[in-house]
Structure 1
């Protein structure tokens, strides 16, 4: 009798649970139908959005076009060449700053320094960006160490162990500088094996990281004394960058006529070398005072060239934010539109 009652109670509970689940599913379906009706009522259409990807950087650059970073470059080179490391530990030096501030350009400037080139047996450049796979990163590093390896890495793709072993073989008894450009995240399953392989290099080997996130720099092993925060350039340096491009191949007469307006445009760059470079390239095609005045009077975000070369890289930082944080950034950017629109 007791068993029978227990069985009945158990069956009843299962029925209740199933009814509860069925009710919730029904409620969800009804809500989905309401959303679909609202979509049709307000003529909403689906738009495919594409997340921008950064063009991969290289170590090659015209150093004559880089300005305003001499002091910090000198300090970093000094640390790369003369800093001491504990046994079995390679120093990691990080350049940190917002998008467009010139981290990659500074790293390129350092890589092309004659003292750096003479000091290290191998200078390896690796643009990390959205690569988060150990196999891809190790393969790219091996390709930089041995150009023949890049063409030999065909299907089947070597395992992580094979790639790391080859890296160890190439850097053993060699002093190297590894530049990891545009690092967005630190994943232990990727970074720890690489770090272990790098220990095979000779004492004095270094790693140079560029990143927008200070937490990434510390996660990569940089102490505060090894962390360099890039600041905005002065208006004068922005003008130097802008004018070098804008007046390329032009005479002093045109420069004299347009310099006053050009300096005002340089102030709109707000210390960002990327903005100065972009506007300088745009102004190179403009020869009249009216055209330059139009650029000065234009709102920066309405210039097509600004959207392509300035804001697109900055969008990468936006996409890197947690999904719940993005609306907060939009509210800060357009407070009147969003806030008052909500109230109305």
Structure 2
């Protein structure tokens, strides 16, 4: 299943590359100078736009619907075919230019006339290929309504069934497990900050952001802090709000108000809820947890924060997020990064769910297989819990060996929430970052990237389009890399100080790309580096 998912997930990245090629001056000039039917170019662009409008919805729904998965694969193949003939045109134009430049100015026109005459067969071939690809894409585009695909907002499928598929159950302040594994130091550091009265800038409100990739245990850590008995009496008011992807200032503020009062509120506009919340927080020392924030818009955070400034000195806000940019937008006083669990803590967490015991009495064969499976999870608490719970239902050694031999991320959807948890981060990426990250999965599992080298490879693939003419390509690459790093798609490598490792996310796609791109010569060439 994971192989098919990857093929679909990359479609949005492929489409962006194709759009850029279609809009290039070279392609447009080719059709004009050769007097070809430029209406075909416009029809191709419109057809691709209609498909692109539903791609996010399709990429999410494919997990449950094999027909949509097959549709995505077919569209991907057609888009790659379009890329092929556009590349052929680029090559032809480059060859034409070189032929002309190699001649003296006196004979240039003769060479061009000869070349144009000899290239008529090439033009007919291109036009034929374009008709074929266009017919295929128009046929596929006509099926999107039958499949129930809908246009969604860019970046994430808001409002449709797509959102239901990947939206996790909202968190609450109560932890699922009474014990938190491997986070004692993290908990102590943040607890000291929560109870400290000495603020560097003497602000009434200070904010700590707990940052880490999906499934790293940010919410669990916040829950244990929120419910720590040692905090009893240190705050006048406490509230917990799960924010998640939809960041509506009015809804979030009303949820905070209801958390503070412990009752449902009937406010119907932002001003009313803002005044009520200010009334409840004024002069009081409060602790507020805003769990799972994705919003990176500064003005919306400023609007939400207005009532917080009425609290007493020592009021605290805990934010959990996957994005360093969110931590920056919220003006966090502290930023606390969560790293993967150490091996001994991994084993305890895994054993708790696989054997219902932290220190199980098991035979050496079972323990050896369990340790190997554990290493596949690479310190991700969500993976350890999910795989452990699955193995608890499979008591035989043969079944454990089968799990070990398979890709652990190819678990049936009803048995695993790992893929949705990580997919959520991927689908929230803008398209220009999707293709940069997807490219990283061409490398072997556990590959350690050197930032400068990776940026050069992105440059070679023409992934780095300059948003401003004043910026160099290397600067754009640096921005893209830092953006992916801030969103926890890269983790600092322990072994190599100056390198970063694309960790858990790459496990979804490890060793799959040769199969996906086996039929596409251009991508096969990309794999060989």
TM-score (norm 2): 0.55
Per-residue CA deviations over 1:177-227 (Å, capped at 9, x if unaligned) read: 11111111232332213222111111110011111111110110114xx11
- 1:26 Cα shift? 9.1
CA contact (8 A) 2:349 2:358 kept: no
307-316 or 74-83: which moved more? 307-316
Equivalent positions of 1:259-274 (< 5 A) are 259-274=367-382
Classify the secondary structure of the residue corresponding to 1:324.
helix
2:307 aligned with 1:197, yes or no?
yes
Give 2:396's aligned residue: 288
Give 2:42's aligned residue: 28
Compared with structure 1, are the counterparts of its residues 83 and 217 closer, same or farther at alpha carbon in structure 2 (3 Å cutoff)?
A: farther
Per-residue CA deviations over 1:84-126 (Å, capped at 9, x if unaligned) read: 3345541111111111111111111111111223311222111
Q: Which residue of 223, 226, 231 maps to 1:116?
A: 231
33-42 or 330-339: which moved more? 33-42
Give 1:3's aligned residue: none
User: Structure 2, unaligned stretches of length 5 or more?
Assistant: 1-36, 48-130, 151-161, 443-512, 525-529
Per-residue CA deviations over 1:7-35 (Å, capped at 9, x if unaligned) read: xxxxxxxxxxxxxxxx9889735865856
2:171 aligned with 1:61, yes or no?
no
- 1:284 Cα shift? 1.2
Q: Distance in 2 between matches of 1:285 and 1:307?
A: 11
Classify the secondary structure of the residue corresponding to 1:210.
strand
Equivalent positions of 1:9-28 (< 5 A) are 28=42
Equivalent positions of 1:1-344 (< 5 A) are 28-29=42-43, 37-39=135-137, 45-46=143-144, 47=147, 48=149, 50-51=162-163, 52-85=166-199, 86-148=201-263, 150=264, 152-153=265-266, 157-223=267-333, 226-248=334-356, 254=362, 258-304=366-412, 308-334=416-442, 335-336=513-514, 337-338=516-517, 341-343=520-522
Q: Could you say which structure has the greater relative contact order, defined with CA pairs below 8 angstroms and 6 or more residues apart?
A: 1
Classify the secondary structure of the residue corresponding to 1:95.
strand
CA contact (8 A) 1:247 1:255 kept: no
Q: Distance in 2 between matches of 1:250 and 1:95?
A: 27
Q: Distance in 2 between matches of 1:136 and 1:240?
A: 39
Q: Distance in 2 between matches of 1:27 and 1:256?
A: 65
CA contact (8 A) 2:281 2:311 kept: yes
Q: Distance in 1 between matches of 2:46 and 2:190?
A: 57
301-310 or 193-202: which moved more? 301-310
TM-score (norm 1): 0.82
Q: Distance in 2 between matches of 1:99 and 1:250?
A: 24
CA contact (8 A) 1:278 1:306 kept: no
Q: Distance in 2 between matches of 1:32 and 1:94?
A: 43
- 1:288 Cα shift? 1.5
- 1:332 Cα shift? 2.4
Q: Distance in 2 between matches of 1:251 and 1:77?
A: 28
User: Structure 1, unaligned stretches of length 5 or more?
Assistant: 1-22
RMSD (Å), alpha carbons: 2.9
Compared with structure 1, are the counterparts of its residues 318 and 77 closer, same or farther at alpha carbon in structure 2 (3 Å cutoff)?
A: same
Compared with structure 1, are the counterparts of its residues 170 and 256 closer, same or farther at alpha carbon in structure 2 (3 Å cutoff)?
A: farther
Q: Distance in 2 between matches of 1:237 and 1:300?
A: 20
Q: Distance in 2 between matches of 1:250 and 1:166?
A: 47
Q: Distance in 1 between matches of 2:42 and 2:239?
A: 54
Compared with structure 1, are the counterparts of its residues 216 and 83 closer, same or farther at alpha carbon in structure 2 (3 Å cutoff)?
A: farther
Classify the secondary structure of the residue corresponding to 1:119.
coil
